[in-house]
Amino acid sequence: MIAFEPLVLAPALLAAALYARGFTTLARRMPYRFGAWRIVAFTAGLAVVLLAASPLLDELSHALLQAHMTQHLMLMLVAPPLLWMGAPVAPLLLGLPRPLRRAVARGLGTPVARRLTHALGHPALGWTAFVIAFWAWHVPALYDLALRSDAWHHVEHASFFATALLFWRPVILPWPSRASWPRWTMIPYLVLAEFHNTTLAAIFSFSDRVIYPAYEAGPRPWGLSALEDQSIAGAIMWLPGSIAFLLPLLWLILTAVAGPKAGSNTVEAAGAQPALRSR
């Protein structure tokens, strides 16, 4: 049996329980907004986080760059979009016990909290934080630090996951959030982010030297040299990584061509207030 990291497992189980509790109410009150696919997406996102932080993959990442890259892709490009597709804010809030829910709602309604949430949800902040975390943790000195220290390894993964949540929020635009920028701007937003991903992937794929010396010092699983492992890591980042950007990019282009659904704002406005009332 795999013993998951308690600092990851406990929050994931709590989030799943709260979401499921709130989702049952919202699915009953707003079936057009909270179909079964929402809870499937949210649960899948949590499962990806647990898999990325699993001891087996975590241990393998200390010996293989390709395993570490797989962790990074899961935490930055797979789990966050799935979690946001679940429109988690309302279900998680409704999943709380009533006194706590009211206290959280009051806290979120303060001017300071509203300004903070607005700032954190701004696309410029999300994109910038995502790109900085992406490049900073792949600098050899910081990368090797994360390999040597479990604490810094957790910090690395937490920063990847947190900045990815900020990055993907304006792309997915989970209900009931509103767009800060016109929807078409999310197309260059994703294209520029994909450019950074492709650039680093090309560096890994075509470099004629090992970028992270730590992978040369330890034992080599499966008979792969450190340089071969690095090339495979680049391919993983290049192909699956690019797909993770291109799929939402294609979706945005298609929805931009189709145009907004008529009357969708009216339907949401009519259903939002009753659904979020306290039980």
Residue 138 CB partners (closer than 8 Å, separation 6+): 200
Q: How many residues does the chain have?
A: 279
Residue 228 falls inside a structural domain? yes
Residue 250 falls inside a structural domain? yes
The number of distinct structural domains making up the chain is 1
Return per-residue pLDDT of the chain as tens, 279 residues. 456 777 888 999 999 999 999 999 999 999 999 999 999 999 999 999 999 988 888 888 888 999 999 999 999 999 999 999 999 999 999 999 988 988 888 888 888 988 898 888 899 999 999 999 999 999 999 999 988 888 899 999 999 999 999 999 999 999 988 888 998 999 999 999 999 999 999 999 999 899 998 888 777 777 789 999 999 999 999 999 999 999 999 999 888 777 655 334 333 433 444 444 444
Residue 79 CB partners (closer than 8 Å, separation 6+): 45, 46, 48, 49, 52, 161, 164
Residue 35 falls inside a structural domain? yes
Residue 256 falls inside a structural domain? yes
Look at residue 3 in the predicted model and tell me its pLDDT.
Answer: 60
Residue 1 falls inside a structural domain? no
Look at residue 266 in the predicted model and tell me its pLDDT.
Answer: 33
Give the residue numbers spanning the domain of 235: 6-275
Residue 232 falls inside a structural domain? yes
